[in-house]
Amino acid sequence: MEPFALTERQPSPRRANLAGQEATMTRSGMSPADASINRRSLVVIALMTVALAVISVAVGALLAATPAPASARAATASLTIRARACPPRYIANAHAADCDEPFGFPVRYLADGPTPTSAETDEAGNARFAALLPGAYAIGEGDIPFDFIDRLVVACALSATPATPVPFTATTRGLRLALDPGADITCDLYYVGTDARALPSATLAIHHRLCPAGFQGPNYDATCHATPAPAGIEFALDGPDAAIASTDAAGNTALRVAAGRYTVRGGLPGEFATLAVFCAPASQPGTPFPFTPLGAGVRGPNDLSGIQLDLAPDAHILCDWFNTPEDLR
């Protein structure tokens, strides 16, 4: 039997690696236990960093979704633009009643001011600007073909109280105005179309007045002219043109139409009032202008359903339209 030889045992690679680390730690003054704690601390710090990042994202999203304080919202202003088309040649002063048609296409309005932005009209013809910083703004558009627009009429008021006007300056294609903090304003923009036919035109103005119940004349002007009829009463012309216009707060209206023969009707319904009419050239109020009464004699010589008259080119005729309510006592 051969004698056996003693050989030196070699450490495994893993043990050698650990021994090397232990030697390194020993040289640096760190015990193996301290190194283990350090490794666990690094893991905890990494996990805390990730958690803080997640919390930061969540808080940011929550803040973004939280509405602004009421005081901040009150500091901004709102503006609504209502774009409406008026009939060609329209010259009356009852735009809210007569010009109620929106354009058949969206109109984009630009707001130039502390909050530059834009808004497009909806199907109803309205465009809304919200959360505008207070200050001076210029409002305009570039979508409406102004070759077919005779003029633009603007009216602005507080949205909550439409009878409270707001100052503004009209421009060629819009307006300028100042928005105060918390203001909510509505501006109506009425676009009066041109008549592409370029026919000679005439103007008929109507002053609608009410007489005392049962009044039968003859002094209509002295007795009744100081009492205007309510606003919003329609008058219609039927002839070469068909036109409708409503009375304003003063009881007046006017229609500009192509020259020709017209039937004119309007005022209070005939079953509730009689009608007397007096017409004259606007430049010669004391000179009667001829017309044909329609429906005269139903309940007396002044009971008319309307009139027929001839309007010459460039004529400007004024008719006083006196309605007398029936005395039902």
Sheet holding 201-210, edge to edge: 252-258, 201-210, 316-325, 273-281
Which of 326, 323, 327, 328 minimizes the C-alpha distance to 211? Answer: 323
Q: Cβ contacts of residue 35 below 8 Å, gap of 6+?
A: 21, 25
Domains by residue range for the chain, with CATH? 73-193 (2.60.40.10), 201-325 (2.60.40)
- Render 260-278 in DSSP notation, one character per residue: EEEEEEESS-TTTEEEEEE
Residue range 170-225, pLDDT digits in tens: 998 999 999 999 999 999 999 998 877 777 889 999 999 999 998 988 899 999 99
pTM (2 d.p.): 0.66
C-alpha to C-alpha distance for 211 and 274, rounded to whole angstroms: 10
Chain segment 142-151, per-residue pLDDT in tens: 888 877 888 8
Percent of the chain surpassing pLDDT 90: 55
pLDDT reported for residue 3:
39
Cβ-contact 77, 183 below 8 angstroms: yes
Higher pLDDT, 53 or 315: 315
Per-residue pLDDT band at 296 (split at 50, 70, 90): low
The 3-state DSSP class for residue 70 equals: helix
Residue of 221, 249, 217, 213 whose CA lies nearest to 233: 249
- Residue 287, pLDDT above cutoff 70: yes
pLDDT in tens, 210-241: 999 989 888 999 999 999 999 999 999 999 98
Please check whether residue 84 is in contact with residue 100, taking contact to mean a CB–CB distance below 8 angstroms: yes
Q: How high is the pLDDT of residue 67?
A: 52
pLDDT given for residue 312 in this prediction: 95
Q: What is the pLDDT of residue 11?
A: 47
The reported pLDDT for the residue numbered 118 is 96
Compute the distance between CA of residue 90 and CA of residue 153 in angstroms, rounded to an integer.
11
Q: Which residues contact 314 (CB under 8 A, 6 or more apart)?
A: 200, 201, 202, 259
